């Protein structure tokens, strides 16, 4: 049972209505995690602003997607894992094999591997990473990139906590933590969601949230 009421764009009013419209422009769709966060306009505004800002991160989309997948796996969040597996393999260029590796904290590229190891250390130590872990990350990543990994981890943890505490219904093809095999869901809602993301992935992204561009943040949006 979903704990937080899902605020639907069609029935939202006032500030919340405007924020959900912005969410659709920034994310390209309105998933359940956004509808749940919309119970607090302040929280939704912060989530969207950080999601939008981090899409200009110096980390490439595939790296951000890997971090999101790792955070979802470590937090045991099937909602987030389902969302980021779908978007990572459909819009960010990850193969199913690369997505599975990311969930285990691994990547073939040394820089991606360093970002994942740092993200894993952050989650495990709640930020109090060991000197050796920080040094290993700094050998591959700039100071700015290290801060961006922290920001992506924080955004994804927020999304995961909302999804877990809120008992959100998964509106993506289901992927369960603790395993590498995606499990399909057959529902009209998931099919509609998939169609929207598929259409978005073929569109041009120009960086202006006023032009109605379709973008999926991993963090959050979104990179949950």
On whether residue 31 sits in a domain, the answer given is no
Of the candidates 4, 40, 5, which has an alpha carbon nearest to the alpha carbon of residue 19? 40
At 23 the pLDDT is 83
CATH code, domain carrying 117 = 1.20.1290.10
Taking residue 41's Cβ as centre, other Cβ atoms within 10 Å add up to 18
Whether 84 maps to a domain, the answer reads: yes
| Residue 107 maps to a domain | yes
Q: pLDDT tens digits, residue range 72-102?
A: 999 999 999 999 998 899 888 899 999 999 9
Establish if 49 belongs to a structural domain: no
pLDDT of amino acid 204? 37
Q: Average pLDDT over the chain, rounded to whole?
A: 82
Residue 126: inside a domain: yes
pTM of the model: 0.77
Q: Is 131 within a domain?
A: yes
The pair of three-digit structure tokens given for residue 133, joined into one six-digit string: 């872990």
Q: pLDDT by residue (tens digit) across 120-147?
A: 999 999 999 999 999 999 999 999 999 9
Query: Would you place residue 173 in the very low, low, confident or very high pLDDT band (cuts 50, 70, 90)?
Result: confident
Rounded Cα–Cα distance for residues 24 and 6 (Å): 15
The total number of structural domains that make up the chain: 1
In a domain, 114, yes or no: yes
Domain limits at 69?
Answer: 60-160+174-183
């Amino acid at each position: 049972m979903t704990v937080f009421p899902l605020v639907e764009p069609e029935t939202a009013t006032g500030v919340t209505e405007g924020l959900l419209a912005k969410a659709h422009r920034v994310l390209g769709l309105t998933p359940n995690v956004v509808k749940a966060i919309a119970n607090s306009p302040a929280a939704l505004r912060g989530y969207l602003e950080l999601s939008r800002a981090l899409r200009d991160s110096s980390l490439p989309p595939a790296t951000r997607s890997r971090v999101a997948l790792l955070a979802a796996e470590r937090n045991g969040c099937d909602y987030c894992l389902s969302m980021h597996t779908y978007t990572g393999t459909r819009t960010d260029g990850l193969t199913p094999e690369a997505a599975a590796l990311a969930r285990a904290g691994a990547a073939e590229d040394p820089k991606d591997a360093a970002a994942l190891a740092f993200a894993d250390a952050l989650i495990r130590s709640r930020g109090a990473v060991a000197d050796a872990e920080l040094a290993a990350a700094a050998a591959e990543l700039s100071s700015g990139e290290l801060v961006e990994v922290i920001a992506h981890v924080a955004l994804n943890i927020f999304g995961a906590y909302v999804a877990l505490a809120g008992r959100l219904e998964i509106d993506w093809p289901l992927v369960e933590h603790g395993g590498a095999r995606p499990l399909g869901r057959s529902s009209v809602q998931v099919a509609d969601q998939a169609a929207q993301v598929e259409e978005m992935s073929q569109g041009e992204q120009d960086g202006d949230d006023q032009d109605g561009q379709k973008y999926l943040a991993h963090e959050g949006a979104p990179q949950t």
